[in-house]
Amino acid sequence: MTTPFTLPVPDEQVGALRARLLATRWPSYDSRDDRSLGTSSDDARRLAQYWANQFDFDSLRQRLAALPHENVTIDGAAVHLVHARSPHQQAVPVIMTHGWPSSFLEIVPLIERMTEPERFGGRAEDACHLVIPSLPGFGFSSPARSLEGYTGAAIADLWARVMTSLGYERFFASGGDIGARVTSWLGVRHPQRVRGIHVSSNALRVALPGEAVPTVDERAYLVRREQWATAEGGYMHVQQTKPLSLAYGLSDSPAGLAAWLAEKWGSWSDGLDCASTEVMDIILSHASLYWISNTIATSFLPYFVYDWPPGARLDGAQVKVPVGFYLSAAEIGGIPPESFARRQFEIARWSVLPRGGHFMATEEPGLLADDLLAFIRAFR
């Protein structure tokens, strides 16, 4: 069942948020501008002060209100989504799944480029209807009924039902981060309905199948991934093992929440400046959704069940629909050797984008939209 959606951004919550930010108790250690320990003291204080005193909540409300929101109810639980229909009759549907630590807002910059590509130098005949759901327990979507409901496979099954509710029997799917894993499972579990999947390198297993011997390039990539996990993967270990212990603090401290998100947006992107007003607005828009909906705890749960059956990442040989990969040097782990990916997936399109990082839909919406439209064009 599909129902209209009303935005819950009440003034009293905004006022209480600002009061908490202004009353922040800061850590005893002041790192100044040193980011080697995490978000620097300078960055954290700047974010908190901006959020409390300058962030434009009215503008956020207006941006949210301008979007075509819907709620789809599945087994009594609400899936919030933005459903942007193209004006072009020949448009095909695409479901795009966000990841962590973002929200459906990450994908919003793609809407006009996907639904009306001719306005951006593209072709009207490539237009798509865009479905952007909020993951279970993120933003305005209900939490999953059980922990098993946060696995990539379970979310893929939920998305298939969502698309049925919207009247889309056949569709394309795309996503990065958690969204890449969900999209891959869509391709495996619903091949009669999914016409093709378009994913980031997060869909890849960080291991070669079977007894395969890595090439020099593949070995270098695996070493690079291991080095990244050692230096940057602490967040995942906490969220995968003791997520609730962390969530108590971030659910109570908006300054802590902003600092936790900003560290990832700064280090996983292609040079986003977290001190700039533009980037602070992006980060704090996501942070505001987490805070108002009180969903940071449930946003950790896909990590807690990361490797629960049937697994985080599938055997790519199971995917029998066309697969397109989009890569960039600034993405986590960098660009994997194409041979490494082809040992796991039968790949129809392999695109190395010149710019952008983990949050490609926000960082470089033009590049991502063009690549996704080109992938879909071949299989319309």
Tell me what pLDDT residue 314 has.
79
Exposure string (b/e) for 260-296, b if CB count within 10 Å is 16 or more? bbbbbbbbbbbebebbeeebbbbbbbbbbbbbbbebb
Model confidence at 212, pLDDT cuts 50, 70, 90, reads: confident
Residue-wise pLDDT for 116-140, tens only, equals 999 999 999 999 999 999 999 999 9
> Is the Cβ–Cβ distance between 152 and 178 less than 8 Å?
yes
Distance CA 326, CA 171 (A): 19
Model confidence at 6, pLDDT cuts 50, 70, 90, reads: low
Tell me what pLDDT residue 63 has.
92
> Is the Cβ–Cβ distance between 110 and 361 less than 8 Å?
yes
Distance CA 70, CA 6 (A): 9
**3-state secondary structure string, the chain?**
CEECCCCCCCHHHHHHHHHHHHCCCCCCCCCCCCCCCCCCHHHHHHHHHHHHHCCCHHHHHHHHHCCCEEEEEECCEEEEEEEECCCCCCCEEEEEECCCCCCHHHCHHHHHHHHCHHHHCCCHHHCEEEEEECCCCCCCCCCCCCHHHHCHHHHHHHHHHHHHHCCCCCEEEEECCHHHHHHHHHHHHCCCCEEEEEECHHHCCCCCCCCCCCCHHHHHHHHHHHHHHHHHCHHHHHHHHCHHHHHHHHHHCHHHHHHHHHHHHHHHCCCCCCCCHHHHHHHHHHHHHHHHHCCHHHHCHHHHCCCCCCCCCCCHHHCCCCEEEEECCCCCCCCCCHHHHHCCCCCCEEEECCCCCCCHHHHCHHHHHHHHHHHHHCCC
Tell me what pLDDT residue 315 has.
74
Q: What's at 261, amino acid-wise?
A: L
Angle at 135 between CA 130 and CA 141, to 5 degrees: 95
Tell me what pLDDT residue 208 has.
77
Strand-pair partners of 72: 2, 79
Residue-wise pLDDT for 225-264, tens only, equals 999 999 999 999 999 999 999 999 999 999 999 999 999 9
Q: Percent of the chain at pLDDT above 70?
A: 98
Distance CA 219, CA 115 (A): 41
Going by DSSP bridges, is the β-strand pair 2-3/69-74 parallel, antiparallel, or unpaired?
Answer: antiparallel
Residue-wise pLDDT for 155-210, tens only, equals 999 999 999 999 999 999 999 999 999 999 999 999 999 999 999 999 999 887 77
> Is the Cβ–Cβ distance between 101 and 139 less than 8 Å?
no
- For all residues of the chain together, what is the average pLDDT? 95
Residue-wise pLDDT for 20-31, tens only, equals 999 999 999 999
Tell me what pLDDT residue 258 has.
98
Tell me what pLDDT residue 287 has.
98
Which of 205, 302, 190, 297 has the alpha carbon at shortest distance from 250? 297
> Is the Cβ–Cβ distance between 177 and 200 less than 8 Å?
yes
Task: Give how far the C-alpha of residue 98 lies from the chain's centroid of Cα atoms, to the nearest Å.
Answer: 3
CATH number for 40-204+227-377 (one of 3.20.20.140, 3.90.226.10, 3.40.50.1820, 3.30.70.100): it is 3.40.50.1820
Give the count of beta carbons closer than 10 Å to the beta carbon of residue 305.
19
Half-sphere exposure of 354 (CA within 13 A, CB side): 3
Give the count of beta carbons closer than 10 Å to the beta carbon of residue 93.
21
Tell me what pLDDT residue 318 has.
82
Q: Is the dihedral of CA 113, 190, 163, 360 positive or negative?
A: negative
> Is the Cβ–Cβ distance between 345 and 318 less than 8 Å?
no
Model confidence at 4, pLDDT cuts 50, 70, 90, reads: low
Residue-wise pLDDT for 282-335, tens only, equals 999 999 999 999 999 999 999 999 999 998 887 767 888 999 999 999 999 999
